[in-house]
Amino acid sequence: MFTNKNNDGFQPIAQIEKETGVNMPRKVLCGLIQCHTPAWDVDTPINRIKDICIEKHLPLIEQAGGKGVKILC
């Protein structure tokens, strides 16, 4: 049974490994998306800007997921 000596709700990986003899995986694939957005006219509605930005990012998010990215910024 795992015990939490920190009382913070989290189980330290080193402690789990010690108690179970099982090594936890450490590799996590991360990604970063950077997109250029055109200069907006001050009269452009914010919801339209939001929709355009989402449309531009969705294919990149899909591509990252297809490559196994688990954390994406």
Domain boundaries, the chain: 26-72
Kindly tell me the number of DSSP H helices and DSSP E strands found in the chain: 2, 2
Query: What is the greatest pairwise CA distance in the chain?
Result: 62
User: Is residue 32's pLDDT more than 90?
Assistant: yes
Round the average pLDDT of the chain to a whole number and report it.
82
pTM recorded for the entire structure: 0.59
pLDDT bucket at 41, cuts 50 / 70 / 90: confident
Considering only CA atoms, which of 13, 15, 33 is closest in space to residue 24?
13
User: Is residue 51's pLDDT more than 70?
Assistant: yes
